[in-house]
Structure 1
Amino acid sequence: MQVMSNPVALHWKRLLVWVLGVLLPLLGVGLIAEDLLEKERFRFEQPFMLWLHSHANASLDRVAVTASTVGSVYVMGGFTLLLVFVLWEKNRRISFYFLLSTLGAAVINSASKLVFGRPRPHLWEWIVQEQAQSFPSGHAMYAAAVATALVCMLWHTRYRWPMVVLGGLFTFLVGLSRMYLGVHYPTDVLAGWAAGMAWSLACWRVVRSHASTDPERTGQLEHS
């Protein structure tokens, strides 16, 4: 016998996702962006970055460079295209969602960098070279978007909590590596994390809402 879901509980769950996963992160990004446009300084950033740098050593350098490389647009972009290709024949709606989530995050990040034009920090000599503007961190945003998308796609499977842990650790490590390397301010990374997660979750809610009109598609989304 099929158990009917409670519509009120389902409504509150969806509302909670929107508030905690989309609206609050976007509010945080907006507050940071407003201060940047008004040329405000974040006093905690330089001391925090210098504290990170004070713990630098050759081993941590290698870890940070590796995490930064794996989280780059080249590696993550290749992973995205491969997964989209693999998913296309199995579930085109899921494949399209993953492409929209990740490609959209990359486009939004590039546009934001042009709008804000924040110079990168130069508190010490870099061991990697970067050219684009600083805000928001593309590595952090893309990692958050990819991790969130994978969690959404696996939420109705037994792999959801392992993906939450692995995705969270990966996203955190990529963002931390960018600050450790001195190529991003903490607010760049925080905004990247928040924007990537919010965008990916918003795309998922839209896809789920659109699919809810088709029971077969809803079943495909829930069991993919």
Structure 2
Amino acid sequence: MALDATAVSLLVLGLLIVLAALADRLAGGALSAVPGAVRDTSIVGVLVALAGVPFALVATDEALAAADSPVLGWVVEYRTPGLTTAAEVVSLVGGTVGTGGLAVLSAVVLFGRGHRRTALIWVLGVVAGSVTIRLVKLAVERPRPPEYLRLAPETTASLPSGHALMSALGLGLTAAAVIALTVGTPRAALVRAVVVVLAVLGALLIGASRVYLGVHWTTDVVAGWLLGAALATTCITLARVLDARDRLDDSPAPNPWLRDPVTDSPKD
């Protein structure tokens, strides 16, 4: 079942308008007041629209095949026993249960530290990611690479890569939780840099392992990364906007969710 590119774009635009209006209403008009919130909402739209490109091209598949086949051929040519073992370990550890579970664990920590609503958003984000993987696979039904090239058994459809989506979502939410919980500590900037780098590298390695093992095309993985990043950005922005609604102007304690995740600057 192929999706028309125009329909995807219109659907994404309409959904973003509804979500932005709802978030702004829930926050009492705080969306524009939260540093980076409007920008992040726009980023979500761009990520989802880009992820929709492979879905729109599945009908003919020539364009996807032209992009995917050379990459898979190159990977197969340079396979080695050592790299295969490493890819299998990364794929196993970085499965949807592992990375999604890590985000849920970070939600438990957030809940224990008093960020109960944010913890709920994290859990709902992981659930949304799991549902998205299953629904999109059923809707698109893209075949996986030829079975003789695969180094791991898989029975579901190929697009998107569940490993890639959940790694971007789970590691992104975990990194955001660590950053928020360490705001104001002596090494907050160092922690921020380290967890962001680890989250990005982790997601890249997990997605790459799926291509190496021959169970996904490269565009499956890229679409998964984009959707996962979009969901993570949505969860983080929603948490910040809803907290903005509750913040008291004279509160002495800084709220970590009101800091711009890019510039790390608080709201004036």
Alpha-carbon distance in 1 for matches of 2:55, 2:122: 27
Alpha-carbon distance in 2 for matches of 1:180, 1:123: 13
Structure 2 unaligned spans of 5+: 1-29, 260-268
Cα shift at 1:179: 0.3
Q: Show the counterpart of 2:255.
A: 219
Residues 182-219 of structure 1: CA deviation (Å, up to 9, x unaligned): 00011100000000000111122122212211116982
DSSP 3-state at the match of 2:245: coil
DSSP 3-state at the match of 1:17: helix
DSSP 3-state at the match of 1:150: helix
Structure 1 unaligned spans of 5+: 1-6
Read off the aligned partner of 1:46 and give its amino acid letter: S
Residues 109-157 of structure 1: CA deviation (Å, up to 9, x unaligned): 1110011111111163422111111100000000000122123334453
Q: Which of 51, 54, 69 matches 1:29?
A: 51
Q: Please, what is the CA RMSD of the aligned residues?
A: 2.5
The 5 Å alignment of 1:1-80 reads 13-19=36-42, 21-36=43-58, 38-41=59-62, 42=64, 43-80=66-103
- Kept in 2, the 8 Å contact 1:153–1:221? The answer is no
- Structure 1 segments, 4+ long, off by >4 Å, are 9-12
- Kept in 1, the 8 Å contact 2:150–2:214? The answer is yes
Q: Show the counterpart of 2:220.
A: 188
Q: Which of 125, 139, 150 matches 1:101?
A: 125
* Higher alpha-carbon deviation: 146-155 or 135-144: 146-155
- TM-score for the superposition, normalised by structure 2: 0.72
Please state if 1:141 is matched with 2:141: no
* Higher alpha-carbon deviation: 200-209 or 72-81: 72-81
- Kept in 1, the 8 Å contact 2:126–2:170? The answer is yes
Q: Show the counterpart of 1:160.
A: 192
State the identity %. 27
Read off the aligned partner of 2:233 and give its amino acid letter: L
- TM-score for the superposition, normalised by structure 1: 0.85
Q: Which of 218, 229, 247 matches 1:197?
A: 229
Residues 64-118 of structure 1: CA deviation (Å, up to 9, x unaligned): 0011001112323443443333332222123112212222111111110011111
Q: Show the counterpart of 1:150.
A: 174
* Higher alpha-carbon deviation: 144-153 or 186-195: 144-153
Residues 44-68 of structure 1: CA deviation (Å, up to 9, x unaligned): 2111111011110011001100110
Alpha-carbon distance in 1 for matches of 2:112, 2:232: 22
Read off the aligned partner of 2:242 and give its amino acid letter: H
Q: Size of the alignment, in residue pairs?
A: 214
- Kept in 1, the 8 Å contact 2:210–2:216? The answer is yes
